[in-house]
Amino acid sequence: MAWLSRLRAIFGKEKLTREHEEELQFHLSMREQLNVEQGMAPGEARRDARLRFGNPSLWRERMSEIDLMILPQTFLLDLRYGARMLMRNIGFTIAALLALAIGIGVNTAAFTAYKAFFKRSLDARVSGRMVNLALQLPSDSSNHAGDPLAFFSIPDYEAYRDHVHSFSGLIAVSFPQNLTLTGAGGIVSRRSAATGSLVGRLGLLPSSKNAETASTFLVSENYFSVLGIGVLRGRTFATEDSSEEAASPSALISENYWQKRFGGDPTVLGKTIRLNGIAVTIVGITPHNFVGTTVEAPDFWLPLGLEPLIHPNDNWLRNRENLCCRMLARLAPGVDIDQARAEMTLLAGQLPARMWSASN
């Protein structure tokens, strides 16, 4: 337990130093007194006492060194002893380590997820003015009465977008999906890694038949302008006309994927790649780690208008029953959420007869 008193010595340093000083003074004056008794002149007696003691600042240094220097030594001993005891009960050690590791891991994951889903504000300029839209099922129609419904079809989205004036902008976002990526050229990082492997040494690169997929996020064309987010390079989608987009489809690449897949190659702008066989041209690069309304930066952002091309058998752009998308809106200046809710409810009631009516 000697290290305990050392710890105390370090933290109670001031008191200790004071006591040392007093002890030093006591010793010096006793020596001086003895010197005088032995016949020395008072001044010389004092000088002699100090001389015998040596340099007091050096002495102070030695005293505090004793507190400081010995501590790591004993700590090391204790540490070694601890490690030996742990090795002796190896089963217990492993169990304890596992319990700690799992506990810490689960905690970290839970808090990370919580932060990502709930505590993070949207990746948007003045994100406090952005609202998430959902309808509430009427209490009389189905057994899901009163449940909120946060998904909308594209035709409904267009109706709300064009007619609700409480919003300065309304966006629709689909779910992230993985599309096969072709025509993108060799992967920078994979090629260099392959040279070390057996395949690489035989002069073979991974064949392009290996399906390469890219995570893709379909968003309405006005996505970036409503969020108020610019691109790192290039431009965002042309917002006005979806049919024009479909004729000459454009895609945005995330900075993260641009770096990972293309090694930050600047010629990627204007490059034409194929996603699920559809040729799209990369027109812009979104900022590093920009996640928008999702929780993880996708590889590509595509305009919603491209959906019929990407999934030719499943045209949900015109299907009012296909609730594909979440809607988020930016409140117009001077409009509060209750006004917007009232206007939404009114319009929802005017839409062609549906299974539900609306609120918020």
Partner 1 sequence: MAKTKNDNLQGALALLVLKSLEQGPMHGWGITLHIQRISNEVLRVEEGSLYPALHRMEQDRWIVSEWGTSENNRRARFYRLTALGRKQLNAEQENWQKITSAVALVLNFGNA
Give the interface with partner 1 as residue ranges (CB under 8 A). Answer: 1-2, 5-6, 9, 19-20, 22-24, 26-27, 29-31, 52-54, 58-59, 62-63, 66-67, 70
Helical spans, DSSP H, in the chain = 2-11, 13-37, 42-53, 56-88, 90-114, 154-163, 188-194, 198-201, 223-227, 242-247, 255-262, 307-310, 337-350
The token pair at 11 is: 């933290």
Q: Cα(first)–Cα(last) distance of the chain, in Å?
A: 66
User: Closest approach of Cβ 65 to partner 1, in Å?
Assistant: 8
**Alpha-carbon distance 333 to 8, whole Å?**
62
**Alpha-carbon distance 189 to 202, whole Å?**
18
- Closer CB to partner 1, residue 52 or residue 120? 52
**Alpha-carbon distance 165 to 342, whole Å?**
11
- Closer CB to partner 1, residue 76 or residue 104? 76
User: Closest approach of Cβ 44 to partner 1, in Å?
Assistant: 17
> What is the distance of C-alpha 127 from the center of its chain?
17
The token pair at 47 is: 């000088």
Tokens 């505090």 found at: 64
- Alpha carbon dihedral 123, 129, 130, 135, in 10-degree steps, equals 160
User: Closest approach of Cβ 53 to partner 1, in Å?
Assistant: 5
- Closer CB to partner 1, residue 37 or residue 321? 37
User: Closest approach of Cβ 75 to partner 1, in Å?
Assistant: 14
- Closer CB to partner 1, residue 22 or residue 244? 22
Helical spans, DSSP H, in 196-235 = 198-201, 223-227
DSSP state of 13: H
- Closer CB to partner 1, residue 17 or residue 180? 17
- Closer CB to partner 1, residue 55 or residue 121? 55
User: Closest approach of Cβ 88 to partner 1, in Å?
Assistant: 20
Host H or E run for residue 220: none
User: Closest approach of Cβ 37 to partner 1, in Å?
Assistant: 12
- Closer CB to partner 1, residue 20 or residue 233? 20
- Enumerate residues 6+ apart whose C-beta is below 8 A from 317: 154, 304, 305, 307, 308
User: Closest approach of Cβ 29 to partner 1, in Å?
Assistant: 8
- Closer CB to partner 1, residue 24 or residue 194? 24
User: Closest approach of Cβ 50 to partner 1, in Å?
Assistant: 10
